[in-house]
């Protein structure tokens, strides 16, 4: 028996607008497994939820993942609960690999590839949020070896306020940002656009028509997943114009993804290992998606532990596209970590060979850089 001694929360501030959140599971034999549960502006709730897990799981067997990490779509704490459980599951896999001396992917049945192709999410690396600022960030990513870049160009637009002149100007500027990135990277680079659920159904239809000239690889999360019929209609419009539709980054569990898959809502599903339930649940989601001919491109724009875990599971998924990675947000991506975090440059990440995850948090970093409330979050609170 491998008894859990402690489940603890670690929130770390990495930029004036970004905290990353983690779970560390310590066992009585002195080992530590690490998972990531970053959920912007919900650090205090995560800390409370993980304290509840700590009280419930002390003395439990760390090998009993099936018993302690079940995903309940109707969980009262919602995405906070799912993030905490997903990070716990990650940490337990880390411990399992450490125990037998093999990487996580080996315990998941073996890898299908030795490297995972990446795309660069440049959004939070853009300080000057003008078209030229987005273009410069995109060029830096291409110069670093990426063959695909993603931007989120429409802040501060929200469809509920679309009648206001300032919102119309924000939409127009969003199109200018996309045009600048397309011109900067040229025709040989894939460009993806993340909409962060900013549009109504009618607005999303107009958006598809307006962005068709930019030869996008995909359009992501144009509207909330509550209306699958409208998302399916938008997908059809996008496909007719040579674009894929991508989304579902905040859903949890196979039960959360199954209706989306059945509805044919997306060409590309983006489960996030921080929210979907962890390694095994992501693999179940990917398997169901494969049956329906749907590609998996996991959501992964946060910290180094999420990245390291997602590379491990991506090594085992047949219907994998590119994996997202944050680009240019902060050098602390590597600075807060210990061990070997897979690369985020050169357009691909090697699949690790070290036991377990092969990475963790640097000693004392959570105390040195404690999380702090964000007065100016990246997203309008109405968007999640």
Q: How much of the chain exceeds pLDDT 70, in percent?
A: 100
65 and 116 housed in the same domain: no
Tell me the pLDDT tens digit for each residue of 343-370.
Answer: 998 999 999 999 999 999 999 999 999 9
**Which one of 102, 127, 142 terminates a domain?**
102
Residue 53 and residue 178 in one domain: no
Q: Are residues 246 and 334 in the same domain?
A: yes
- Mean pLDDT, all residues of the chain: 97
Q: How confident is the model at residue 378, as a pLDDT? A: 81
383 pLDDT more than 90: no
Quick one: 110 and 162 in the same domain? yes
Which pLDDT value is given to residue 375?
Answer: 83
| Domain final residue, candidates 70, 102, 134 | 102
In terms of pTM, does the model score above 0.95?
Answer: yes
Same domain, 139 and 42: no
**Does residue 195 belong to any structural domain of this protein?**
yes
User: Is residue 206 within a helix (H) or strand (E), and if so which, with residue range?
Assistant: helix 201-211
The whole-number pLDDT of residue 250 equals 97
φ/ψ of residue 120, rounded to 5: -95, 120
Q: What CATH number is given to the structural domain containing 163?
A: 3.20.20.120
* 376 domain residue, yes or no: no
Average the pLDDT over 13-38 and give the result: 98
Q: Is 372 a domain residue?
A: no
Please report whether residue 361 resides in a domain: no
What's 331's DSSP letter?
A: T
Domain boundary, last residue among 84, 102, 120: 102
Q: What residue numbers bound the domain in which 170 lies? A: 106-356
Tens digits of residue pLDDT in 251-297: 999 999 999 999 999 999 999 999 999 999 999 999 999 999 999 99
Same domain? 51 vs 70: yes
More confident site: 180 or 375: 180
**Does residue 249 sit within a domain?**
yes
Residue 382: pLDDT band (50, 70, 90) is confident
Residues 97 and 124 in one domain: no
For 57-97, write each residue's pLDDT tens digit.
999 999 999 999 988 888 889 999 999 999 999 999 999 99
The CATH number that applies at residue 22 is 3.30.390.10
Same domain assignment for residues 249 and 349: yes
- Per the structure, the count of domains in the chain is 2
Q: Can you say how many angstroms the Cα of residue 182 is from the centroid of all Cα atoms in its chain?
A: 23
Q: What confidence score (pLDDT) does residue 266 get?
A: 98
Res. 384: pLDDT tops 80:
no
Cβ-contact 273, 282 below 8 angstroms:
yes
- Is the residue at 24 inside a domain? yes
Asked if residue 203 and residue 279 are part of one domain, the reply reads yes
Is residue 382 domain-resident?
Answer: no
Of residues 34, 124, 35, 41, the one with CA closest to residue 80: 41
So what's the pLDDT on residue 198?
97
Rounded to whole angstroms, how far apart are CA atoms 183 and 131? 11
29 and 49 together in one domain = yes
- At 380, the pLDDT band (50, 70, 90 cuts) reads confident
**Residues 281 and 336 reside in one and the same domain:** yes
pLDDT band at 379 (very low <50, low <70, confident <90, very high): confident
Burial (CB < 10 A; 0-12, 13-18, 19+), residue 254, is: buried
* 144 and 14 co-located in one domain: no
Mean pLDDT of 29-38: 98
**Is 332 within a domain?**
yes
What is the average per-residue pLDDT within 146-175? 96
As a whole number, mean pLDDT of residues 140-165 equals 96
């Amino acid at each position: 028996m491998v008894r859990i001694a402690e489940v603890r929360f670690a929130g770390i501030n990495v930029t004036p607008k970004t905290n990353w959140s983690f779970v560390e599971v310590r066992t009585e034999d002195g080992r530590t497994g690490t998972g990531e549960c970053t959920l912007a502006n919900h650090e205090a709730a995560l800390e409370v939820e993980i304290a509840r897990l700590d009280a419930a799981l002390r003395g439990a067997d760390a090998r009993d993942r099936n018993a302690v990490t079940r995903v309940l779509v109707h969980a009262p704490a919602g995405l906070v609960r799912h993030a905490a459980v997903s990070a716990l599951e990650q940490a337990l896999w880390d411990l399992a690999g450490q125990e037998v001396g093999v990487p996580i992917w080996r315990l998941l049945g073996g890898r299908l590839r030795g490297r995972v192709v990446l795309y660069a999410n440049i959004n939070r690396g853009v300080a000057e949020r003008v078209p030229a600022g987005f273009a410069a960030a995109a060029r830096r990513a291409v110069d670093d070896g990426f063959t695909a870049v993603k931007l989120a160009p429409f802040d501060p637009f929200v469809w509920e306020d679309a009648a206001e002149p300032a919102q119309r100007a924000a939409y127009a500027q969003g199109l200018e940002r996309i045009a600048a990135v397309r011109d900067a990277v040229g025709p040989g680079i894939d460009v993806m656009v993340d909409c962060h659920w900013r549009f109504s159904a009618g607005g999303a239809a107009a958006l598809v028509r307006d962005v068709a000239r930019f030869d996008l690889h995909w359009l992501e999360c144009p509207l909330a997943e509550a209306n699958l019929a409208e998302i399916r209609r938008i997908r059809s419009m996008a496909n007719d114009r040579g674009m894929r539709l991508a989304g579902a980054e905040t859903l949890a569990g196979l039960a959360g993804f199954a209706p989306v898959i059945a509805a044919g809502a997306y060409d590309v599903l983006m489960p996030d290992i921080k929210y979907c339930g962890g390694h095994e649940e992501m693999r179940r989601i990917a398997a169901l998606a494969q049956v329906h001919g749907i590609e998996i491109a996991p959501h992964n724009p946060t910290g180094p532990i999420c990245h390291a875990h997602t590379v491990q599971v991506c090594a085992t998924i047949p219907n994998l596209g590119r994996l997202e990675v944050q680009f240019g947000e902060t050098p602390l991506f590597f600075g807060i970590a210990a061990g070997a975090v897979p690369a985020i440059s050169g357009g691909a990440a090697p699949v690790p060979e070290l036991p377990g995850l092969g990475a963790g948090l640097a000693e004392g970093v959570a105390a040195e850089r404690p999380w702090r409330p964000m007065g100016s979050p990246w997203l309008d609170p109405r968007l999640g």
